[in-house]
Amino acid sequence: MENVVAPLDANVWKIHVAVGDVVEIDDEIVILEALKMESPVYASTDGTVVKVAVKEGDKVTEDQILVVIE
């Protein structure tokens, strides 16, 4: 399993995946917002989303798990 983590402290602006979705490496899966700037987060591996650990509007901290891919 691969954990996709937040690269910075931010707000979750948009989530592009759900449990069961198949993703490929470098697919955009989450968009974070910090200081009025959007920061996309990409899949770090190919696989299936087994957990979405956040929801839109959540505040996240650096290295917090956003999505788990198996």
Number of domains in the chain: 1
CATH code: domain of residue 12: 2.40.50.100
Tell me, what's the pLDDT at 70? 97
pLDDT tens digits, one per residue of 12-23: 999 999 999 999
Tell me, what's the pLDDT at 10? 98
Tell me, what's the pLDDT at 45? 96
Q: What is the pTM of this model?
A: 0.93
Residue 44: domain span: 2-69
Burial 26-63 (b: 16+ CB within 10 A, else e): eeebbbbeeeeeeeebebbeebebeebebeeebebeee
pLDDT tens digits, one per residue of 6-54: 999 999 999 999 999 999 999 999 999 999 899 999 999 999 999 999 9
